Each structure stands twice: as C-alpha cells, then as structure tokens.
Amino acid sequence: MAVRNILILPDKRLRLVSKPVAKVDASIKKLVEDMFDTMYEAPGIGLAAIQIGEPKRIVTMDLAKKEGEKKPQVFINPELVDESDELSVHEEGCLSIPEYYEEVERPDAVTVKYLDLNGKAQEVKATGLLAVCLQHEIDHLNGVLFIDHLSKLKRDRVVKKFTKAAKQPAKDMLKDARKAAAK
C-alpha cells in the first residue's frame, strides 16, 4: 500500500497537461494501485494521476453509494467524444482544493472513450454523478480545475485563500526561529 501526497492548490503542477499512456504495463498498474490507495485514504471519489504529481492521463474513481462497498473504476487516456446540449448543475469538490465546494454547470450526459486496465478500448455513456466526475477528472488531465468554471470573483477568492495558506507554515517557522533566537 502506498498512499502518496496529494498536490494542493496553488501547486503549479496541477496546471500541467498530462501525457497519454503509451502502454498499460506493470508500472502503470502500480501507479493505479497507488492512486486507489491515496483516493480511498483521503477519502475521495475520484483522482487524476497529476494530483499525486504524475502527469499521465489516468483517472481512478469509486462512486459506490453504500458504505463499505467498493466499486473501483479506472479510465486510461479518457477522451470526451460526445456531450449533451442539456446542462445540469452539481456541487463539486476536489481533493486538491480541500473543504471547498461550489455548484458547477456542465453537460448533463457525456460519452467517453478510454482504455481499461487490460489496455482494452472501452466506451461509456454517462449521466448523473459519473458524468460529472468524468468531466471533472478529464479537466485535471488538461490542467483545468473545477474553480475555472466559476466566476472570476469566486475563483480569485479561493486561489488567494489557498495561496495564503500555503505560505503560512513558512511564516510560522520564521516566527518560531525568531522566538528561539530572542531567548
């Protein structure tokens, strides 16, 4: 079991465009295992590889409704091939933007092509939560975060908050060092 660190806003790596997986080999399977370990530990329902610092087009997901039940899903090189004109609004959150939730409007239904863990081509027509998660995670592979779908005002506010929080530990350390030096 390998729980990896999750990158947090404003980490610049979250803005990278991830590269397609050329071959679903043992190293990819190991990475997928780490992604599930990290996602379940968080806990979260979806994770893109870039969120643990790996710029590869891989998404893990588990949308099981019942507690204790597991329904792991893997999407390698997922590609949005169709989307409905009809839109719907869902509240979204992100493991890279902890404890921040906002409503996002996206196409209600999508068709996604991808490779499974055996490297076999698959296609899924998704609605509801699966459609939301697939779009959210595919966004990650393109360096897009769900806050990019919000108004500039809301986005600026959350980026500012997380940028400030990221600087805080360094400031606290400096304060402690000064205190120690004054003694």
- Please give the residue ranges that form the binding site for Zn ion (CB under 5 A): 94
For Zn ion, the closer of residues 51 and 77 by Cβ is: 51
CB 6 to Zn ion: min, Å: 10
CB 121 to Zn ion: min, Å: 25
Closest by CA position to 34, among listed 10, 6, 15, 13: 6
Residue nearest to Zn ion (CB): 94
DSSP structural state of residue 50: G
CB 74 to Zn ion: min, Å: 16
Amino acid at 83: E
91 catalytic per annotation? no
For Zn ion, the closer of residues 49 and 94 by Cβ is: 94
For Zn ion, the closer of residues 94 and 112 by Cβ is: 94
Distance CA 111, CA 44 (A): 23
Among the listed residues 33, 41, 103, 137, the single catalytic one is: 137
Integer CA distances (angstroms), 94 to 1, 111, 137, 145, 172, in order: 22, 22, 10, 8, 26
- First-to-last alpha carbon distance for the chain, in angstroms, is 44
What residues are annotated to the active site?
137
